[in-house]
């Protein structure tokens, strides 16, 4: 973990039912800054790299569309898990991303979405 101190910021995300993995990722470089996980979790570097790739593609899409919109979040549904990615802070430029992976069978997606939105909004800009 590059910035272990940043792991404190992920603590509230662990309260999400079905939480499996949380990562803070540098959106530009794809570097994992900090991660917290429970036992049966996917490999944090691989999950984080995938999240950074997805946001990179969506940022390129947004750049080409040039509609003036900003990326708010990405919700991905697998057969057994949810992948939720959200830029941290209120900047228009996503410098840091929050990735949370949760067990689909134990997670209320709407509640998890709300928790992540509130968590990210609580971060100072």
Partner 1 sequence: MSQNSRRTRVRQLAESVWPGRTVNGYANLIAARLRKLADEGSTGMLPVSGHGDGAVFFRDGQVVYAESSRTSPPAPRARDLAALGLVPGEAPGSAGAGGTGAAGTVATRSVSRLGGMLELTELIIDALTELLSSESRYAKFRHAEVAPAGHGRPLAVETLLAEVQRRHEVLRQLAPVVTPDTTVSCESSLSLPSAQVSPAQWALLIRADGGTTPRGLAMHLGRSVFGTTIEVYRLLELGLLVVPGRPPAPADGRPGTGISFIRAVSGGRGSDA
Q: Please answer whether residues 110 and 87 qualify as being in contact, where contact means their C-beta atoms are separated by less than 8 angstroms.
A: no
Contact string (CB under 8 A) for partner 1, positions 35-64, x = contact = ----------xx-xxx-xx--x--xx-xxx
- Phi then psi for residue 88, to 5 deg, are -90, 140
Q: How far apart are CA 23 and CA 6, in angstroms?
A: 10
Q: How far is the CB of 121 from partner 1 (least distance, A)?
A: 12
Q: How far apart are CA 50 and CA 46, in angstroms?
A: 6
Q: How far apart are CA 107 and CA 27, in angstroms?
A: 26
Contact string (CB under 8 A) for partner 1, positions 59-88, x = contact = xx-xxxxxxx--------------------
**Which residues make up the interface to partner 1 (CB under 8 A)?**
1-6, 8-9, 11-12, 24, 26, 28-31, 33, 45-46, 48-50, 52-53, 56, 59-60, 62-68, 92-93, 95-96, 122-124
């Amino acid at each position: 973990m590059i910035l272990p101190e940043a792991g404190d910021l992920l603590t509230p995300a662990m309260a999400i039912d079905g939480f499996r993995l949380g990562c803070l990722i540098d959106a530009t470089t794809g570097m994992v800054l900090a991660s917290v996980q429970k036992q049966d979790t996917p490999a944090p570097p691989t999950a984080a790299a995938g999240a950074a790739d997805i946001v990179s593609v969506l940022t390129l899409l947004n750049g080409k569309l040039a509609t003036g919109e900003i990326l708010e979040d990405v919700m991905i549904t697998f057969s057994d898990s949810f992948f939720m990615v959200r830029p941290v802070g209120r900047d228009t430029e996503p410098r840091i991303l929050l990735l949370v992976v949760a067990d689909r069978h134990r997670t209320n997606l709407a509640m998890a979405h709300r928790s992540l939105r509130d968590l990210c909004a609580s971060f100072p800009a």
